[in-house]
Amino acid sequence: MKTAGWRSVLTYGCVAILCQPLAACGSAENPSASTNDTAASTPAPSIPANAPLIIAFGDSLYAGYQLGPKDGLAPQLQAALAEDGVVARVQNAGVSGDTTAAGRQRLTYVLDNAKAKPALVVLGLGGNDMLRGIDAAQTRANLDAMLAELKKRDIPVVLTGMVAAPNLGPEYAKKFNPIYPELAAKYGASLYPFILDNVVGHSDLMLADNIHPNAKGVKIVVEGLAPLVEDALPDAK
């Protein structure tokens, strides 16, 4: 990770322990609207009904916590892909407060009830595990099971990673931080190493809780994530 990225991690560590209760706020279905924190946008193009389906499956960082309906990860990613000429429908399957265990429990339901077989899943869970100090072995096992299920269904994956807050100590970080690169290598998934890289630590890109990105912060995330999604999306190759 770049030096700037590590500075972001250190800043994230300073606030993460103080903001643990916020990890369970909000919902994917009814995110609270933020105040004057929207990204500049143009009207979204019409997406054909048969467009490839991308499922964004994660926690509050995916759900659009305290953001407007067009400002979360899924709508901004869909818009960014369209701007690059990649027409795809991005479904928001983020649930605020979700741990990897909760995600593991609902993944099959989400996949089975999707309107079409997903062309790609963007998977991002583990932040709430880390904030709660859950055993990293459990986090690894849950993510491994989800990636195995997606592989069984022949669904490509872009995995967005998380890093342990320094407050949790070097032993926890030693067990937690390798989870994402090692599982991405095991399952052949594309990896975005730290979802909040270049965002956390910048007050103009974060909500007041210093945990969740605002609309401008999500835009930065999407700028880094979209190229990986485009490369991993079969119909875009």
Those residues whose C-beta lies under 8 Å from the C-beta of residue 92, and which sit 6 or more positions away, are 28, 56, 62, 63, 64, 72, 73, 74, 75
Return the DSSP state at 133. T
Q: How far apart are CA 174 and CA 27, in angstroms?
A: 31
Verify whether residue 212 is a known catalytic residue. Answer: yes
CB 160 within 8 A of CB 124: yes
Q: Check 8, 34, 37, 60 and give the catalytic one.
A: 60
Q: What are the beta bridge partners of residue 120?
A: 54
Active site residue 202: no
Q: Can you tell me the distance from the alpha carbon of 43 to that of 105, in angstroms, rounded to the nearest whole number? A: 36
Percent helix, strand and coil across the chain, each rounded to 5? 50, 10, 40
In angstroms, the CA 187 to CA 181 distance is 10
Which residues have a Cβ under 8 Å from the Cβ of 210 and sit 6 or more positions away?
15, 19, 200, 203
Whether 209 is catalytic is: yes
Query: CA nearest 200: which of 177, 216, 181, 179?
Result: 216
> Is the four-CA dihedral 91, 59, 25, 42 of positive or negative sign?
negative
Which active-site residues does the annotation give? 60, 209, 212
